[in-house]
Amino acid sequence: MGGGAARRVAVAALAVAVLVGVASAAVYEVGDKAGWTVMGNPNYAAWASSKKFHVNDVVVFTYNKQFHNVVAASKADYKNCDASKPIATWSTGNDSVVLKTAGHHYFLCGFPGHCAAGQKVDIRIAASSDAPSAAPTPEPAAGGGSKPSSGATAAPAPHPNAAPQALPAGSSVAATVAASLLSLAAAVLA
């Protein structure tokens, strides 16, 4: 009933908030190493279905801005490859888009013929995806991973026993911080 209990609750809440933040703020490179292009006909449907997107995840479109752009489109416009009524357009060649809502996010390239050639992606966030997953499914191996800076992978749920070195680049620091907070919370609650 005293301040101790309140403090325990506060620490636990903080730890949970940090964990949720870590779990939901993954960054994904669209098309992985291929990037956002028509060269080599990347399979963006397969790419999207290989990820488990959450609200507030970030997708990064990397491309040559002379030849491509990024258009957020309605479902109908996505289907018809109609870039004339964009919800939003990005054209810097290195665009980070925060996925703020659950449901479908439709993107296509507005350059003539590119969408029809397959440069379009439907990124879906499941309605129940706000909660961090306790057991994330492992990433399917997508190539050799010779470029550590690309191919961002989902931040795995922090696990105290997991060796940080084994985690993908970029997520190890966050996971370590989260794991430390978990330990802290466990110690306070003990």
Per-residue contact track with Cu ion, 12 to 51, x per CB under 5 A? Answer: ----------------------------------------
The reply on whether position 119 binds Cu ion by CB under 5 A is yes
Burial of 78 (0-12, 13-18, 19+ CB in 10 A): buried
| Residue among 53 and 61 whose Cβ is closer to Cu ion | 61
β partners of residue 118: none
Count interface residues toward Cu ion (CB under 5 A): 5
Name which position in 18, 99, 108, 109 contacts Cu ion (CB under 5 A). Answer: 109
State how beta strands 103-108 and 120-125 pair.
antiparallel
Name which position in 20, 82, 111, 118 contacts Cu ion (CB under 5 A). Answer: 111
With beta carbons less than 8 A apart as the criterion, state whether 140 and 146 touch.
no
| Residue among 8 and 33 whose Cβ is closer to Cu ion | 33
Q: What is the smallest separation between the CB atom of 88 and Cu ion, expressed in angstroms?
A: 16
| Residue among 115 and 155 whose Cβ is closer to Cu ion | 115
**Separation in Å, CA 106 to CA 13, 83, 135:** 35, 11, 28
**Region of 95-103, 107-115, 121-129, 168-176 interacting with Cu ion (CB under 5 A):** 107-115
DSSP 136: P
Name which position in 68, 90, 174, 178 contacts Cu ion (CB under 5 A). Answer: 68
Listed residue (57, 64, 56, 58) closest to 35, CA to CA = 64
Q: CA–CA separation, 152 vs 62, rounded Å?
A: 13
With beta carbons less than 8 A apart as the criterion, state whether 77 and 87 touch.
no
| Residue among 33 and 111 whose Cβ is closer to Cu ion | 111
| Residue among 103 and 113 whose Cβ is closer to Cu ion | 113
Q: CA–CA separation, 88 vs 76, rounded Å?
A: 15
| Residue among 69 and 153 whose Cβ is closer to Cu ion | 69
Contacting positions for Cu ion (CB under 5 A): 68, 109, 111, 114, 119
